[in-house]
Amino acid sequence: MCGILAVFGCVDNSQAKRSRIIELSRRLRHRGPDWSGLHCYDDCYLAHQRLAIIDPASGDQPLYNEDKTVVVTVNGEIYNHKELREKLTSHQFRTGSDCEVIAHLYEEYGEDFVHMLDGMFSFVLLDTRNKTFIAARDAIGITPLYMGWGLDGSVWFASEMKALSDDCERFVSFLPGHIYSSKEGILTMDAVSMLEGGDSMCMQEVLEGGTTHHGIRKKYLRPHMIHYIYGRPLRRQAVTKRLMTDVPFGVLLSGGLDSSLVAAVASRKMAELAAACQWGTQLHTFCVGLKGSPDLRAAREVADYLHTRHHEFHFTVQEGIDALEEVIYHIETYDVTTIRASTPMFLMSRKIKSLGVKMVLSGEGSDEIFGGYLYFHKAPNKEELHKETCRKIKALHLYDCLRANKSTSAWGLEARVPFLDKEFINVAMSIDPEWKMIRPNIGRIEKWILRNAFDDEKNPYLPKHILYRQKEQFSDGVGYSWIDGLKDHANNQVTDAMLVNASFVYPENTPTTKEAYYYRTIFEKFFPKNAARATVPGGPSVACSTATAVEWDAAWSKNLDPSGRAAIGVHDAAYEDAAKTPSAMNGA
């Protein structure tokens, strides 16, 4: 991942302002420690902190068209850049960077080109010929982007809030799948945005079958295509295209279904990669946890089965607690479940980077797409399940994508997410949601359809018991005592009186537990403005559910906690005692 900062319309364009832009851009250097760049044009500034993954030798940013009248600063990867270059035969490319294609696409097609990009990206582009600019973010929001406004009328964009929060009167999280055009002066929905409305069909509707929704007959993929739709795109495209790299890489392997499938597919592709000539054909895998944790055991077994070069990292509860302030500064949220999961990922990323690895694949997105969280056991029907998956995918940029990106970028490590491939989501959201419903009476556990697609008797991807392992949230899988330790620590830091008066101190998104209150105090220390706290979502949750899904089970309202163990009667190690005694959770 890289870090971008762009400012347009500054009243002050003196050397002092240039120095200030450089100073703010340095706040993003953890994202891109390999090189720094700055382009100034009149009252416009485009800054870049580079993490060199593709073409490390010549791909420094900002990037330009042939005569340097179009300037672009990009954070992300464009996986189809070679195909796009073939459409731009009249253009001359200066670098081998996958991102340079954006400048030439704009020159060729104007603003109507973003839908052509296949990748994860946030970018800002300046056309010096008419002094206009655009900004865009990928459809899911895999890479972060913020937009702000200064008192002098300036418009700001940055990869992280910390680069603009001090100099902007107001700022917001830039919406995924959107383009900002200075010509139009409004945010317009990009054609690649795949989540319209929130409860409508998320993707293109193809083939036959389906149900009626809002008076429209939905078309779903037929069940007999299960093996094709999930096996082939994930194997041949979603994973393979993300192995595009000129630097050492690996896979984050928790031992759960999603990361294990990514590792299994990647390990089979290693020998075919151009990078194998330089980095070898043995896949590196990485796992973190408290000693004896469920994830460590499962990951080791998967790694042995796949014959990867496995790296196992341990941390203690105290080490995690000691890192909390730094974690919250980097991930820029006070959301409880995000902080719980980000801390071990943050610690692991530091270890991974110390080994010389700069890019990893990770399994985020599968649970949102397939209804994999344990609370989906209580989905009342397929329509409600589908609506909830759409809500979850729409919110990924505020939760799992934010965590995966910022926890790794804190140490100059790039995380890529195959399950959030554009084509893969198109296919996955086009199947009848009935096949995602959890039906224990006929042997269907969560994400059964994905497990079944990779249940290959002749050439197994994974051992059966791993393929059908119960869902374990990352913050639980690293060791159950991790969350318990966080709660105990928060109980010692936050008094009963503080929690009672929380609504007066924090009237917006009021924390309801001592753990949430503790995280909020740390967040406010780094980001005290109202605009900052408004970028963080709120509302009740059980096992990572949305507030709407909490209503699926009346007992959940007495046991609100984002841990998977809050799924009473579902998780093998659920908070059963808490269900019997609601007051037991009050200090959480």
Percentage helix, strand, coil for the chain under 3-state DSSP, each rounded to 5: 40, 15, 40
Q: What is the pLDDT of residue 152?
A: 94
H/E stretch holding 286: strand 284-289
535/114 Cα distance (integer angstroms) = 25
Q: What is the pLDDT of residue 566?
A: 52
End-to-end CA distance of the chain: give it in Å, rounded: 34
CA distances 236 to 230, 233, 423, 562, 582, Å, are 10, 5, 12, 34, 48
User: Is 98 annotated as belonging to a binding site?
Assistant: yes
User: Is 209 annotated as belonging to a binding site?
Assistant: no
Q: What is the pLDDT of residue 280?
A: 83
3-state secondary structure of 308: coil
Active-site entry in 2, 44, 99, 287 = 2
Q: Give one DSSP letter per residue of 427-483, joined into a string.
A: HHTTB-GGGGS-BGGGTB-TTHHHHHHT--SSS-SS-HHHHTPPP--HHHHT-HHHH
3-state secondary structure of 526: helix
User: Is 25 annotated as belonging to a binding site?
Assistant: no
Q: Give one DSSP letter per residue of 205-259, joined into a string.
A: --SS---EETTEE---B-GGGHIIIIIHHIIIIITGGGG--SS-EEEE--SSHHH
User: Is 417 annotated as belonging to a binding site?
Assistant: no
How confident is the chain (588 residues) per 10-residue block, as mean pLDDT?
A: 95 92 98 97 97 91 96 97 96 95 96 94 97 96 97 97 97 94 71 39 33 38 52 72 93 95 94 78 95 92 97 97 98 97 97 97 96 94 95 96 98 97 89 93 92 91 90 66 95 98 97 97 98 93 88 82 58 50 35
Residue 202 bears catalytic tag? no
243/249 Cα distance (integer angstroms) = 8
Q: What is the pLDDT of residue 574?
A: 58
User: Is 363 annotated as belonging to a binding site?
Assistant: yes
Q: What is the pLDDT of residue 233?
A: 56
401/407 Cα distance (integer angstroms) = 10
CA distances 518 to 334, 474, 510, Å, are 9, 21, 12
The model's pTM is 0.91
